[in-house]
Structure 1
């Protein structure tokens, strides 16, 4: 009897059989934020329905916290979560806009030597974001979200106080500020994902959060540029006060979400739940490698500690893979679930986003140090990124309905390449509306379409039971490659201009760094082409359903 019933049921469809409606819902959610990936809907075979558990048990519609909240409460709640990404980007913009003033306070004339203050901040976000998400799973999303804001406020205030101390204190404070941003960012998205039902309301919430990225960059630069007219530490103290106000508002506006898992009761439980051995190995590896590349621009490769950092970082990376694959019961990165497509998509993201990090840093320095623009005027130069970024974020879901993620990735990398070439070849004296304006438009579109495309590509290449890791990996690679790309570009710049601080020497070094960005974007293009050729080969070979590809889609 049971056997006959089993035979009568149609087979469960695989991922590639999703209909247009399911793809539309999936892509719109994925394009809107980090944790929306958890809500992918899988279609039911035609004519099939699941029976209730018992004849008397009626089907229950799950309720979500936002269904019980007033509209004003929902608005305040979503606005508070939006502040996580907004404030993360403010931290980048305010440092970009005040590099010259910071250098003058610490008697550092070469602003390129200050790029570590920017790279260290994004490095901390990239290296801690996976662990921060796990902390939220274990101890509550709201608690970790608010702790992140308070932590960031403390270290933002210390960044301002460092004017009375040394540049080393300022650098350390920027790195530790990034840890606070890493705590808030993934847990903010997790809060939205767990309190909103799948549908237009949830997609809108994630779209609003994603739109904060370009806005935060400009707001940070504008506010810091204005306050720097009086004294640059005021920007960091004002930001610290803003972070504390947001934390206070969030305490009342954010609902208490019921945790999926019980809080670890003992230290051993916490170590296993948080995967502390893997976290220590991974964070040590990423920090050491990035530190070596950023520091070598100042001291060169002749210093033994640079090589020691690189070798130690490689050893820790090997240890991280071994721990995650063979030892950790709950690994931060489930390597066994990742495919070759996953690694290729991550490499594409690393190339594109490291290119963007170089572009934004050196475009800013080009405007200020070569064209002698003020921080406020330079901020005005990049302001169009708000409009383009918001439009790209809102339309990326529509774009991904009609094109495969790999095609959108290819278009994004073409835009990264074009935007970098426009700045790298830009003459010293030229109207803003020629190359600089076009570069801002192109790069803004590239960065705001690449993230949802790569997130969706990762989702397609990872087994269904591990879908939640896709956007977390994308965020980690985004911020880490931003930092590492700056270190590589700064090293290239230092070897080209060899300390020449004349305008001609600076220009030569800046161009070398920007051509490095072009090379990275070009490498990403080649990887995109390899992905497309691989997909074409699979279709011709008819192995889309072969072993190892079940539960996955083409990217």
Structure 2
């Protein structure tokens, strides 16, 4: 094991810092699943006499959160690099505190739309947290086994948070009242916001800017163009199936979203201080991010329809649904620890390819899982597969980008991986629900179990196709890498701190 970095005065100091950064990933994934295990109870709480709620809106319980996490992460990594990782990290924790509190209070307005809006603002807080957490680890640790272990722990926090978040929210919602799940989250976020003030080193950026200098270097036009384009594109894909694709405002917003996204990439290649560094626009980095987006996008589809299957067709209670996620907790930790070891002994392209195959197999297994079957057969079995997909892909991609990007872009390294993961979850889920609703419209009896199961499977077939594309691009990545003479993290340690050659990927 590498020696402890000089930033830490004691082993306890190091443990506390890693714990706080891991909790950002833990609570973000928990924030997604807590809306899945409780979605039927939340939806029912907003329905009542004279206030019917369309059940298609529940896709936004998860989608709006993942949308803002994935979109604003693109900006927050840059903010961390310019204004300071610790400063933005602190703001993120207290932002989550406020909006966790407000999300719970939304029950008093009896408006499901306001609840969805609160979930979106809630996601902005985690968008500030995730890249800064990854950037802090990338800044504190030099390339080596200690850094790999730290990133592996962050990867393990994902499935652990998803399991605990789903189970905790289910217990609170089923036995007490669902708003308390968000109020408890607010208390936890406040505690971590206070802790980080004392335990995270204050200056982690190579470049020191005043606030005015940082603002001058922030690509404001590119930021506004990129964020607005990504939000509109995602909104269209999630709202289009609900209101109909022939609705004029959906068509207008789709065209506007495409124009803004094209304009964003044009600006990034022409402005002096772009939001995305020029080194990102490379075939191999692009393939890594593309494989991550397709794999995690298919996982978002799997996750949403898994909960619909077990709760709507098998009639699990929220607590039973939360308990069904336990294999993710145990196996996810094991997978993350293994990847922190093997990534220094094999090329990252093989890890990315294996993860893509696992993502695809997970959707395949769920698409053929019978409604009437023991949990301990195919339902539990697919979790043995997917834990490897999630917990090998995220640390591998994070380490690749952290090692490649220079020291003063460590916040951007974290933001790119998290942007692709979370935005893809929301975007491809919106497309999958389009498939579901289109198939539902062709069913003679859309309310029958057979018809509902058919619509779920149609969406999962789309998820299989998305993951299959990820496998294809991962094979291309392997092909491009097979002649490289430098390919492991251990060899990369011989290179400059500014980052390894792209050929090492």
TM-score after normalising by structure 1: 0.81
For 1:464 and 1:257, locate their aligned partners in 2 and report how far apart those are by CA, in whole Å.
Answer: 16
Pick which of 521-530 and 275-284 moved more.
521-530
Cα offset, 1:227, TM superposition: 0.8
Q: Which residue of 2 aligns with 1:205?
A: 150
For 1:531 and 1:348, locate their aligned partners in 2 and report how far apart those are by CA, in whole Å.
Answer: 9
On the 8 A contact 1:155/1:176 being kept in 2, the answer is yes
Per-residue CA deviation, residues 166-197 of structure 1 (Å, 9 max, x unaligned), is 11111111111111011112212323333345
On the 8 A contact 1:64/1:197 being kept in 2, the answer is no
Match of 2:78 among 122, 134, 141: 134
Question: Do structure 1's residue 123 and structure 2's residue 63 form an aligned pair?
Answer: no
Aligned residues, how many? 481
For 1:75 and 1:528, locate their aligned partners in 2 and report how far apart those are by CA, in whole Å.
Answer: 35
Question: Do structure 1's residue 420 and structure 2's residue 363 form an aligned pair?
Answer: yes
Question: Do structure 1's residue 317 and structure 2's residue 261 form an aligned pair?
Answer: yes
Question: Do structure 1's residue 496 and structure 2's residue 439 form an aligned pair?
Answer: yes
On the 8 A contact 2:362/2:382 being kept in 1, the answer is yes
On the 8 A contact 1:406/1:457 being kept in 2, the answer is no
Per-residue CA deviation, residues 225-246 of structure 1 (Å, 9 max, x unaligned), is 1110221111111111221122
Q: Which residue of 2 aligns with 1:430?
A: 373
Q: Which residue of 2 aligns with 1:510?
A: 456
Cα offset, 1:435, TM superposition: 0.9
Question: Do structure 1's residue 377 and structure 2's residue 320 form an aligned pair?
Answer: yes
For 1:231 and 1:553, locate their aligned partners in 2 and report how far apart those are by CA, in whole Å.
Answer: 54
Question: Do structure 1's residue 160 and structure 2's residue 104 form an aligned pair?
Answer: yes
On the 8 A contact 1:489/1:516 being kept in 2, the answer is yes
Q: 1:455 to 1:83 in 2, by over 3 A?
A: closer
For 1:512 and 1:311, locate their aligned partners in 2 and report how far apart those are by CA, in whole Å.
Answer: 27
Question: How is 1:532-543 mapped onto 2 (pairs within 5 angstroms)?
Answer: 532-535=478-481
Match of 2:269, SS? helix
Question: Do structure 1's residue 71 and structure 2's residue 11 form an aligned pair?
Answer: yes
For 1:264 and 1:127, locate their aligned partners in 2 and report how far apart those are by CA, in whole Å.
Answer: 26
Question: Do structure 1's residue 195 and structure 2's residue 137 form an aligned pair?
Answer: no
Cα offset, 1:494, TM superposition: 0.8
On the 8 A contact 1:356/1:482 being kept in 2, the answer is yes
Per-residue CA deviation, residues 196-215 of structure 1 (Å, 9 max, x unaligned), is 45555444333323221111
Q: Which residue of 2 aligns with 1:307?
A: 251
On the 8 A contact 2:356/2:470 being kept in 1, the answer is yes
For 1:206 and 1:344, locate their aligned partners in 2 and report how far apart those are by CA, in whole Å.
Answer: 21
Per-residue CA deviation, residues 60-80 of structure 1 (Å, 9 max, x unaligned), is x997220xx233333333322
Q: Which residue of 1 aligns with 2:203?
A: 257
Match of 1:171 among 87, 101, 116: 116
Match of 1:84, SS? helix
Match of 1:102 among 35, 42, 46: 42
Per-residue CA deviation, residues 295-320 of structure 1 (Å, 9 max, x unaligned), is 01211201111111111111111111
Q: How big is the alpha-carbon RMSD for the aligned residues of Structure 1 and Structure 2?
A: 2.7
Question: Do structure 1's residue 551 and structure 2's residue 501 form an aligned pair?
Answer: yes
On the 8 A contact 2:154/2:395 being kept in 1, the answer is no
Question: How is 1:338-487 mapped onto 2 (pairs within 5 angstroms)?
Answer: 338-455=281-398, 468=410, 469-487=412-430
Per-residue CA deviation, residues 488-531 of structure 1 (Å, 9 max, x unaligned), is 11111111112923323321211111111111111112222333
Match of 2:177, SS? coil
Consecutive unaligned residues in structure 1, runs of 5 or more: 1-23, 26-60, 540-549
Q: 1:337 to 1:84 in 2, by over 3 A?
A: closer
Q: 1:121 to 1:337 in 2, by over 3 A?
A: closer
For 2:11 and 2:279, locate their aligned partners in 1 and report how far apart those are by CA, in whole Å.
Answer: 43
For 1:493 and 1:105, locate their aligned partners in 2 and report how far apart those are by CA, in whole Å.
Answer: 25
Question: How is 1:165-314 mapped onto 2 (pairs within 5 angstroms)?
Answer: 165=109, 166-196=111-141, 199-229=144-174, 230-257=176-203, 259-266=205-212, 269-314=213-258
On the 8 A contact 2:106/2:115 being kept in 1, the answer is yes
Question: Do structure 1's residue 93 and structure 2's residue 27 form an aligned pair?
Answer: no
